[in-house]
A and B are shown apart, each in its own frame.
Chain A
């Protein structure tokens, strides 16, 4: 029986949801979360991280995945599609003129919805031209001549949170999902090349303990420790790569140990996408108790009957 996250759900409910919600759908882990998302959608069609705040791209993306096929998801996509910027990227929220990782999420959603038009192509072009600044030629030259020791292979290209900054595990993982989905429609060699480079980068920054930190495995001579949520995200980006399989045991252990409901949600999704049975958790009964609606959406995605499959990718 899959019932691992209910203790913290009850804590969530005390924070912001009517108790009646629980009794109406008490037998459905997924239904409770779908209900929360339906009722918390902003009038503009988006979702905020926390109830009553402005709509953000990220929770709106996950809300739309959970409720795919529902008019609520259509409203969500109509909103964030309208946010695309002239350079093809998406901002994190309306009016914030920052180009970033949300672009990958929008491409994944557009692909799911079969909305592959000029908007999609402009977004794809943005992702293909964007890379972490650490791979710039002058930085590679400094490393080549031994003037700096980056502790990683700078010829590999990942993706940053924001244009003009360095690449990190999470935006790279999200972009790999988007590009693999794009490749299924448009099998262009430049898409395949970026996917291969991005996957190689993730494998290159893997920590000694077998998982992933949010960035490098090594900083200023010190090994960095890995984290549950970033390890799960790397497993998403590396779906099907045998080199990553050994991290599944680590992720499964963390599922029992981590107090973070976000980490547990991501691990659950990663295990399911890697066709690994998700064990019933016996770990901490009290989770982070976050009222973050994005976490609710991620828990819903990871339910056995949830829409985690929308993040499934094939090799590019």
Chain B
């Protein structure tokens, strides 16, 4: 068959596209979980419970080995409001620090790049993080850390990230269980917005909104794949989260190495259908992790026993899990 010149470019274009799609698919599949993903749900009735023991159980049940690893603990400090519960509770952060140190990590640092307010240490102070011994020696303000670029982030040619996050062997998402007025729910995956430096992208990190919130969440989780999730659902937030909602006790910690699986489990606990949360759907379609219940190996408490419906704003009423 003779290919005419005018046919060549569309064919070549199609070939390139097919090649690119195949390469992208391989890139995704290369990281996809091989089998069902373990997700551990443990009960904790209050922040004065022995949280270190509960987190240790979660880490062990997930088979996580952090010996000689550089670990970055990434809590949620996006803002502070004494009248509600925006932040990962300090006792969860302190317990996680204790656990990862005790498991032989070479280095454990706590880092966050708050999304809205510019005085990071004021948030740290108000959220009582300085109650953690030697906190200032452990903390890195990810909004103002040295940065390096990573090639290709969604439709952007490059994106800048804090060196502390890029050089970590493991990023532990210490997220808060909250509803979110744009995304439906903010859990361990969305918590990675705090890895984007405000010193480059501003306060808020509006670049991520322009890329697309679901797209940005998925891209961040593709870049920071060496991760572990600990979601603070002891007291979460319902209604108009992630800032203006109201406290909602769910009395659980949810943990796992597969962040989409952890977040899907959190959604089920919150009475939200994870299949309707766009970034989880994209994560599942892109083989970033398991979202389907049949692909999640639930350990610890059964979801049905800890489920407590979080109030949803009108635009997310259709997300209610039946």
Contacts and interface: CB of A to CB of B under 8 A. Distances in A.
A246 to B, nearest CB: 24
Contacts, number: 110
A50 B121 contact: no
B223 interface: no
A15 B244 CA distance: 34
B17 interface: no
Interface in B129-154: 136, 141, 144-147, 149
A96 B121 contact: no
Given A98-B200, A259-B125, A262-B118, A164 B144 contact: no
B224 interface: no
Interface residues of A, number: 46
A56 B145 contact: no
Interface in A260-280: 260-263
B181 interface: yes
A283 B287 CA distance: 53
B206 interface: yes
Interface string A88-122: 00001100111011000000000000000000000
A4 interface: no
A10 B207 CA distance: 37
A58 B181 contact: no
Interface in A278-316: 286-292, 295
B122 A161 contact: no
Contact of B146 (A54, A165, A295): A54
Contact of A165 (B119, B126, B210): B210
**Dominant secondary structure of chain B at its interface with chain A:** mixed
A49 B141 contact: yes
Contact of A161 (B117, B149, B206): B206
Interface string A198-224: 000000000000000011000110100
B221 to A, nearest CB: 22
A303 B315 CA distance: 49
**Dominant secondary structure of chain A at its interface with chain B:** loop
Given A54-B146, A222-B244, A215 B204 contact: yes
A227 interface: yes
B199 interface: yes
B147 A260 contact: no
Nearest to B205: A161
Contacts of B119: 229, 260-263, 288, 290, 295
B33 interface: no
B125 A289 contact: yes
Given A93-B147, A164-B210, 19 more contacts: A49-B141, A54-B147, A98-B160, A101-B202, A160-B202, A161-B201, A162-B206, A165-B202, A165-B207, A168-B203, A220-B181, A222-B240, A260-B119, A261-B122, A288-B119, A288-B122, A289-B125, A291-B121, A292-B144
20 contacts: A49-B141, A49-B144, A49-B199, A50-B144, A53-B144, A93-B200, A96-B147, A96-B160, A98-B160, A98-B201, A101-B202, A162-B200, A168-B203, A171-B202, A229-B117, A229-B119, A259-B125, A262-B119, A288-B125, A292-B141
Give the top 10 A-B pairs by smallest Cβ distance, nearest first: A161-B202, A288-B122, A49-B144, A290-B121, A260-B122, A262-B119, A260-B119, A165-B206, A288-B121, A54-B146
